[in-house]
A and B are shown apart, each in its own frame.
Chain A
Amino acid sequence: MGYAEFSLSGSEGIFMSKIKSVNDFVIKFANVNGSGSASANQMFAKGVFRSGIPVSPKNIFPSNIQGLPTWFEVRVNEKGYLGRREGIDIFVAMNPQSYAKDVAELKENGYLIYDSSWKRDFGREDINILEIPLTELCVQEFTNPKQRLLFKNLGYVGLLASILEMDKEVYISLIEEQFKGKEKLIEPNVKALNIGYNYAEENFKDFCQIKVEKSDKTDGLILTSGNDAAGLGCVYGGATVCAWYPITPSTSLAESYSKYCEKLRVEIGTDKNKFAFIQAEDELAAMGMTIGANWNGARAFTATSGPGVSLMSEFIGLAYFAEVPTVLFNVQRGGPSTGMPTRTQQSDILCSAYASHGDTKHVLLIPSDPKECFDFAVEAFNLADRLQTPVIVLLDLDLGMNDWSTPEFEWDDETSFDRGKVLSKEDLDGIERFGRYLDVDGDGIPYRTYPGTHPEKGAYFTRGTSHDEYAGYTEDGVKNAEMLSRLVKKFQTASSLVPAPVFNQEKSTSSMGIIYFGSTDCSMQEALDILEEQNVKIDAMRIRAFPFNLEVWEFIEDHDLLFIVEQNRDGQMRTLIMAEGGIIPDKLVSILCFDGQPITAEHITNKINAHLSGKPTPAIAAS
C-alpha cells in the first residue's frame, strides 16, 4: 500500500501531502455511460498490464444504454492481489453528475483529475487536484463533434501515461492494434492520446507520486474475462450448439462462443459452420434447444443468469429425470427478482443446486478465475456426458464480465472428450434387450443411444413422466422410487468425478478453517496473507464443485470452527453444506457480503477478527 509524504504541489506552491507508491494503487474513472469511455479505460488497464504489472479492471456500470453515471475501477498490484480494494488513490472524474460522490471516495492525499473546462471547487483541502481542460483542448484539435466528445477519453489516458511515468509507446501500439485494418483512425487516436500526454508533460511534471514501473509480473498471464474464457472453453470442449437468450451478465459468454467459432469453426472449402448459434425467444426455449441437441448427441450449452435459471427450471428437472446431458452457465448477478442486473453476487447457489420441482440435485462447477472458467467449461461437457445430467457452471458478474489477470490457457492435445456411456450400432447388436435406465455397471449411470443409430434396437421414449428401466411409462410407485434412488447413487458417483477442492495448505494445522469459492478467491489470497501477518492461524479450502467430495467433508470434520465466505445474504453455501452433510450449524460461521460489489480482503479479515474477538458485526457491505 502507498504512503503519504510531503512534497511541493505544482500549481499552488504550498506544501501538500501526497500518496506515494510504485505499482500498487487503485484508480477509478467516473464517466457517463454510452460515451465511449469503457474502451479507453480498458486500454489504460491493458497498458499497465503490458508494462508487466497485474491489474484487475472492474466495470461498475448501470443497467442503461446512455446517459447514466458509470465507473471503472482498476487495481494495480505487483504482488498480484487482484481483489477489489476500498479507497481510491487516483480519481479520474469525468462526470459532473457524480462529482460529489466520487470526490468523497478519494483517499486523503489522493489525486483528483477532472475536466477543468468548467472549473469547480470540490471543497476538499486534503486531496491533490489536477486540472486539465480536456473539452477545450479537444474542441481546439478536432472539428468532428463526435470526435470532440470521444477523444476526451483517450486524452486522459495520455495524461495518466505521463503522470504515472509510463512508456507512451505501450499505448500507441495498443491503438495501432485496435485499429488494424482501419489505419485512418490511428492518427487521430494517437493525436488524442498526445493531447493529454503533452499537456501533463508541460504542466504536471513530478505532480504525481504514484508511479508505474516496468515489471515482469505478468509473464505467463493473460488479461481476459471469465465469460470470454468460458465461451472459448465451449469451443475447445466440442460444443456445437449454443442456444441462448440475452441477459446481463451472461450475454458476453454466448457472444464469446460465437466470436471464437467464427474464427475457429468454419469448414475450409465450404465456408459452412461447424456450430449452430441460436438466439432463442426466451430462456425456456434456450434450455429446450440445449436439451434437444444433447439428447441427439451434440454437445450443447446455454448461458444465462438468475432470472433465466428460474425460467429454465422446469426443463432442468426434465433433463435431470430423463437423464439428458446438459450444460448451463449461470453468470450470477444481484437478486432476487430482476435485482441488480449489473452488479455481482453469488446468490444462486441453492436455486442452481436444487433447480426444479420434485427431488432434484444438480452438479455445480464453480471456477474462480478465467483460466478455470475455460477448464471447467471443457470439464462440464465431459461430466454432463459421463453423468447424463445437467451440469451448471456458476460464474458471477465480477468473474464473467471483468477482465482478470489470469494464467494462460492450456490445452493438452492428448486429452480426449469423455462422451460417456453411449451405445453404438455394434454395441446394440451384442445386446439382447436395451434398457435405457438399467444400472448395468452399478454406478447409477445407465447407457444411452442416439436416435438413428440402429434400425431395430436402441429406440426408446424419453419422457419426464415416471418410467421403468426400459423407459416405459409406469405408475408403479416402487419402481419410481427405485429410479429416484438410482439417481441418488449417480449423484454419489458424481462426487468422485467433480473437481476436488483446493487447499491453501498441505495439511490442516489449525482448528479453524475458511471455506470459500468462486470469484472470492482473489480477495481471499490477500486476506489469508493479512491474517497470517496478524498471527491468526487458519486453514483454507476453496470448494470447486457440488456434490461435495470426500475431501470437503474431511476438511469440515478436521476443524472445530469454519468461516464460510459468500457473496450473498443467506449463506447459501453454508445451507447446502448443512443440508447435504448434516453438519451442526454452530460450527459454521457465515462471512457475507451482498452489496453487489466484489468482496474485499479487508472485509473478510475484519469480519473474521470481529468474530474471533467476540464482537461480530452485521455483514452487509463490501467493507
Chain B
Amino acid sequence: MTYIVKPKNHHPLLEKNELGLTRRDYEGAVSTLCAGCGHDSISSAIVEACFQLSIESYKVAKLSGIGCSSKAPAYFLNQSHGFNSVHGRMPSIATGAAMANHELLYLGISGDGDSASIGIGQFVHCARRQLNMTYIVENNGTYGLTKGQFSATNDLESKSKYGDDNLFPSIDLPSMAIQLGASFVARSFSGDKDQLVPLLKAALSHKGFSFLDIISPCVTFNNHNTSTKSYDYIREHNDALSRPDFVPSGKEIVTDYPRGTTVDVPLHDGSLLSLEKLSEDYDPTNKITAIKDIQESQRDGKVLTGLLYVDPEAKDLRDILNVSDKPLNEMSQNELCPGSEKLKDINLGLK
C-alpha cells in the first residue's frame, strides 16, 4: 500500500492553484491496485477536485473501511490524516470524528461490499443523520480482494467472470440515499472525468451528507462482456441527466449554455453548481422525480448518472444536535469541567 514513496521534486512549470500548490501536492502513495482499476481514476479525480478547489490537504480527514476501495485513501492527499477502519464501519468513525471537529472536511471512501452489505446499517444511519461529509462508494459490483464474489450491487442479469448466475437483485444505493435523507446524491462513472470532477467539487462544497455512487469497473473480476459494470457496458448505457459545471464562490459563470437549458444550484459556501439539462423535465431538487428517474432508467437497462438530488439548504448533524461552533476537540478543561462549586450543589441535590 503506502510503502512506495513518490519523489517530491516538482517540475517548475507545473500549474499551481490559489494556494500555490501543484496537483502533485495532492497525490498520495503509488497505488497497489490492479493496472486499469477504476478506483485509481477516482483517486486522480479526487486529486483534481481538491487541487481545483484549493483545499488544504491537512484539513481533510480521509476515512475508509475494508476492501480495494478502502485502500484508495492511501493514494491521494498525502498530507491528510487517514483512517482505514474495519469492514463496513467507516460511517461511525466519520460520525465521531466529525462531532469532535466539524471544521475538517470528511471524505469517506467505501465500496459496494463495504456499504451495501456488511456496512449497510451504518451507511443508512449516517445518511439519515445528515452527517456533513462526502461519502463515495467506488462501486464495481464485486468482491475484488477475495477474488470475485458477487456483491449486493451487482445487477441480477450480470453474470460472473466464470459464467455463474447472480441470484439476487441489486441494491440501488443512490435511491436509498435519497429516501434516507441524504441532501446531495449523484452517480457517476470513474471513466467520465468531465462529469466526475465537477460533481466531486460540488459534493465537497455541499454542507450535509453528499453521496456519490461511482461505477468503477474491476478490471480483474468484473470487466467481462456479461457484466453490467464493465467499462464497455457503462460507456454504452450511461444515461447522463445533466452536464455539471462547478463555479467556485466569487467566480463568474463562463459556460455558455442556451437560456432555460441549465439548472443552477447555489451551494452553502457560495459556490454554484451549474447543470446543463440533458432531459427536459430534470429537476435535481425533487426527490420524487429523482427516484422515479432512477427506476425508469433501470427498467430501460440504462445507468442514470449525474446529480440526482440536492437540497442546498439542508441541515447537518451538528445543526440538528445544536453542537457548539467551537470544535469540541479544541475546548479547554475550563470550558468543559464544571468545577468544585457546582459539584457541591450536585452533592446537596443528592442528599
> Which residues of A come within 8 Å of B, CB atoms?
49-50, 218, 222-224, 232, 235-238, 240-241, 243, 260, 264-265, 267, 270-278, 280-282, 284-298, 300, 314-315, 318, 408-413, 416-417, 449-456, 459-465, 472-474
Instruction: Jot down 17 A-B pairs with beta carbons below 8 A, ordered by A.
Output: A50-B351, A260-B346, A272-B325, A276-B323, A285-B122, A285-B125, A288-B85, A288-B89, A294-B96, A295-B83, A296-B97, A318-B86, A411-B337, A449-B81, A451-B58, A459-B81, A464-B86
Other CB < 8 Å A-B pairs besides A274-B336, A292-B83, 20 of them? A218-B351, A238-B336, A240-B99, A241-B96, A270-B324, A273-B322, A276-B323, A288-B93, A293-B328, A295-B83, A296-B97, A297-B101, A411-B339, A417-B337, A451-B61, A459-B78, A459-B80, A461-B73, A461-B81, A465-B84
Q: Find out whether the CB atom of A274 lies under 8 angstroms from the CB atom of B92.
A: no
Decide yes or no: A284 and B58 within 8 Å by CB, A232-B346, A273-B321, A473-B2 being known contacts: no
CB < 8 Å A-B pair total: 234
Distance in Å: Cβ of A413 to nearest Cβ of chain B: 5
Q: Find out whether the CB atom of B338 lies under 8 angstroms from the CB atom of A280.
A: no
Distance in Å: Cβ of B121 to nearest Cβ of chain A: 6
A417 (CB) vs chain B CBs: closest residue: B333
Interface-central residue, A260, A264, A292, A294, by most chain B CB under 10 Å: A292
A219 (CB) vs chain B CBs: closest residue: B351
Interface-central residue, A235, A285, A453, A462, by most chain B CB under 10 Å: A285
Decide yes or no: A290 and B338 within 8 Å by CB, A276-B321, A459-B79 being known contacts: no
Distance in Å: Cβ of A450 to nearest Cβ of chain B: 7
Using Cβ atoms and an 8 Å threshold, which residues of chain A touch B343?
236, 409-411
Q: Mark B3-42, 1 if CB is under 8 A from A, else 0.
A: 1000000000000000000000000000000000000000
Give the contacts of B69-109 with A (CB-CB under 8 A). 73-74, 78-86, 89, 91-101, 103-104
Distance in Å: Cβ of A483 to nearest Cβ of chain B: 15
B146 within 8 A of A: no
B335 within 8 A of A: yes
**Contact with B79, one of A223, A224, A455 (Cβ below 8 angstroms):** A455
Bound complex: CA A596 to CA B299 (Å): 58
Bound complex: CA A465 to CA B85 (Å): 9
Decide yes or no: A289 and B324 within 8 Å by CB, A235-B338, A459-B80, A461-B73 being known contacts: no
Decide yes or no: A264 and B100 within 8 Å by CB, A292-B83, A295-B93 being known contacts: no
B340 within 8 A of A: yes
Using Cβ atoms and an 8 Å threshold, which residues of chain B touch A463?
82-84
Q: Find out whether the CB atom of A464 lies under 8 angstroms from the CB atom of B59.
A: no
Q: Find out whether the CB atom of B337 lies under 8 angstroms from the CB atom of A236.
A: yes
B1 within 8 A of A: yes
Using Cβ atoms and an 8 Å threshold, which residues of chain A touch B81?
449-452, 459-462
Using Cβ atoms and an 8 Å threshold, which residues of chain B touch A272?
322-325
Using Cβ atoms and an 8 Å threshold, which residues of chain A touch B97?
292-293, 295-296, 451
Bound complex: CA A452 to CA B337 (Å): 25
B254 within 8 A of A: no
Bound complex: CA A462 to CA B321 (Å): 28
* 10 closest cross-chain pairs (CB), A and B: A288-B92, A292-B96, A298-B100, A451-B81, A289-B96, A293-B96, A297-B329, A296-B100, A222-B350, A292-B93
**Contact with A241, one of B59, B85, B100 (Cβ below 8 angstroms):** B100
Bound complex: CA A287 to CA B122 (Å): 12
Using Cβ atoms and an 8 Å threshold, which residues of chain A touch B57?
455, 459
Interface-central residue, B57, B81, B321, by most chain A CB under 10 Å: B81
**Contact with B92, one of A284, A409, A465 (Cβ below 8 angstroms):** A284
Using Cβ atoms and an 8 Å threshold, which residues of chain B touch A240?
99-100, 328-329, 331, 336
B255 within 8 A of A: no
Using Cβ atoms and an 8 Å threshold, which residues of chain A touch B324?
267, 270, 272-274
Using Cβ atoms and an 8 Å threshold, which residues of chain A touch B121?
281-282, 285
Bound complex: CA A134 to CA B295 (Å): 65
Bound complex: CA A451 to CA B56 (Å): 12
Q: Mark B242-283, 1 if CB is under 8 A from A, else 0.
A: 000000000000000000000000000000000000000000
Bound complex: CA A201 to CA B63 (Å): 70
**Contact with A461, one of B82, B96, B99, B329 (Cβ below 8 angstroms):** B82
Decide yes or no: A474 and B3 within 8 Å by CB, A288-B122, A297-B329 being known contacts: yes
**Contact with A288, one of B95, B328, B342 (Cβ below 8 angstroms):** B95
Bound complex: CA A274 to CA B104 (Å): 18
Using Cβ atoms and an 8 Å threshold, which residues of chain A touch B122?
281, 284-285, 288
Give the contacts of B304-333 with A (CB-CB under 8 A). 318, 321-325, 328-329, 331, 333
Q: Find out whether the CB atom of B350 lies under 8 angstroms from the CB atom of A223.
A: yes
Q: Mark B278-302, 1 if CB is under 8 A from A, else 0.
A: 0000000000000000000000000
Distance in Å: Cβ of B259 to nearest Cβ of chain A: 43
Q: Find out whether the CB atom of B86 lies under 8 angstroms from the CB atom of A315.
A: yes
A289 (CB) vs chain B CBs: closest residue: B96
Using Cβ atoms and an 8 Å threshold, which residues of chain B touch A278?
95, 99, 129, 321
Bound complex: CA A224 to CA B351 (Å): 9
Bound complex: CA A453 to CA B81 (Å): 10
Bound complex: CA A297 to CA B61 (Å): 13
Bound complex: CA A397 to CA B336 (Å): 28
Interface-central residue, B73, B86, B96, B346, by most chain A CB under 10 Å: B96
Bound complex: CA A464 to CA B1 (Å): 13
Distance in Å: Cβ of B204 to nearest Cβ of chain A: 16
Decide yes or no: A456 and B58 within 8 Å by CB, A276-B328, A292-B97, A451-B80 being known contacts: yes
Decide yes or no: A292 and B100 within 8 Å by CB, A413-B340, A461-B73 being known contacts: yes
Q: Find out whether the CB atom of B3 lies under 8 angstroms from the CB atom of A473.
A: yes
Distance in Å: Cβ of B187 to nearest Cβ of chain A: 25
Using Cβ atoms and an 8 Å threshold, which residues of chain A touch B125?
280-281, 285
Using Cβ atoms and an 8 Å threshold, which residues of chain B touch A450?
81, 101, 329
Bound complex: CA A416 to CA B334 (Å): 9
Q: Find out whether the CB atom of B329 lies under 8 angstroms from the CB atom of A289.
A: no
Distance in Å: Cβ of A402 to nearest Cβ of chain B: 14
**Contact with B328, one of A275, A284, A289 (Cβ below 8 angstroms):** A275
Give the contacts of B154-192 with A (CB-CB under 8 A). none
**Contact with A289, one of B61, B99, B333, B336 (Cβ below 8 angstroms):** B99
Q: Find out whether the CB atom of B329 lies under 8 angstroms from the CB atom of A296.
A: yes
Bound complex: CA A260 to CA B338 (Å): 10
Using Cβ atoms and an 8 Å threshold, which residues of chain B touch A295?
83, 93, 96-97, 100
Q: Find out whether the CB atom of A241 lies under 8 angstroms from the CB atom of B328.
A: yes
Q: Find out whether the CB atom of B100 lies under 8 angstroms from the CB atom of A265.
A: no
B348 (CB) vs chain A CBs: closest residue: A222
Q: Find out whether the CB atom of A284 lies under 8 angstroms from the CB atom of B84.
A: no
Using Cβ atoms and an 8 Å threshold, which residues of chain A touch B323?
272-273, 275-276
Distance in Å: Cβ of A289 to nearest Cβ of chain B: 4
Interface-central residue, A291, A296, A298, by most chain B CB under 10 Å: A296
Q: Find out whether the CB atom of A461 lies under 8 angstroms from the CB atom of B84.
A: yes
Using Cβ atoms and an 8 Å threshold, which residues of chain A touch B82?
459-463
**Contact with A236, one of B63, B101, B338 (Cβ below 8 angstroms):** B338
Q: Find out whether the CB atom of B83 lies under 8 angstroms from the CB atom of A462.
A: yes
Q: Find out whether the CB atom of B347 lies under 8 angstroms from the CB atom of A276.
A: no
**Contact with A274, one of B89, B318, B328 (Cβ below 8 angstroms):** B328
B73 (CB) vs chain A CBs: closest residue: A461
Q: Find out whether the CB atom of A300 lies under 8 angstroms from the CB atom of B100.
A: yes
Bound complex: CA A300 to CA B93 (Å): 12
Using Cβ atoms and an 8 Å threshold, which residues of chain B touch A452?
58-59, 61, 81, 101, 103-104
Decide yes or no: A293 and B99 within 8 Å by CB, A288-B92, A288-B93 being known contacts: yes
Give the contacts of B97-154 with A (CB-CB under 8 A). 97-101, 103-104, 121-122, 124-125, 129
Decide yes or no: A409 and B337 within 8 Å by CB, A272-B323, A288-B95 being known contacts: no
Distance in Å: Cβ of B305 to nearest Cβ of chain A: 30
A454 (CB) vs chain B CBs: closest residue: B58
B79 (CB) vs chain A CBs: closest residue: A459
Q: Find out whether the CB atom of A408 lies under 8 angstroms from the CB atom of B347.
A: yes
Using Cβ atoms and an 8 Å threshold, which residues of chain A touch B96?
241, 243, 288-296, 298, 300
Distance in Å: Cβ of B175 to nearest Cβ of chain A: 20
